[in-house]
Structure formats: C-alpha cells, structure tokens
C-alpha cells in the first residue's frame, strides 16, 4: 500500500487523475485538484491510487515540489 503525500499524482475511484494539494484534516481525507475539471475534492486515502506521471516536470510546474 502506498502512502499518499502532498504533490503526488493520484487516480480517484472514478478514474479521474489529479494532484494532492491538501493534507488530511482530522482524518477526513486528502484534497485533490482534478486535472479535467480543475475542481478540488476530498478523498479518503484508501480511495486514491498513485499514478505514474508521463512528464517528470508536470508536478514541479504545478508548484507541487
């Protein structure tokens, strides 16, 4: 099992991809900025799956590092 961290590229249960932009609040989950819609949504850690980023500079260009 992968531990989710800030800046990580993830995939949601619906297959949407995004970047983790916020840390858990009282165990309520991670805030994820979705690529397609640009909206931020909260997910529990067990709902997220780490993805491989095709462009190594993508996360850095979004301010993730």
Position 24 scores a pLDDT of 73
Q: What is the 3-state secondary structure (H, E, C) of the chain?
A: CCCCCCCCEEECCCCCEEEEEECCCCCCCEEEEECCCCCEEEECHHHCEECCCCCCCHHHHCCCC
Q: Confidence band (pLDDT; 50, 70, 90) for 56?
A: low
Q: Which domains does the chain have, with CATH numbers?
A: 9-52 (2.30.30)
- How does pLDDT run across 11-52, given as a tens digit for each residue? 988 889 999 988 877 767 899 999 877 778 888 888 898 887
Q: What is the pTM of this model?
A: 0.68
Q: Confidence band (pLDDT; 50, 70, 90) for 61?
A: low
């Amino acid at each position: 099992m992968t531990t989710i961290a800030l800046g990580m590229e993830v995939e949601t249960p619906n297959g949407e991809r995004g970047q983790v932009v916020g840390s858990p609040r009282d165990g309520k989950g991670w805030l994820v900025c979705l690529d397609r819609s640009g909206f931020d949504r909260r997910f529990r850690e067990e709902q997220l799956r780490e993805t491989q980023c095709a462009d190594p500079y993508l996360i850095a260009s979004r301010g993730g590092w």
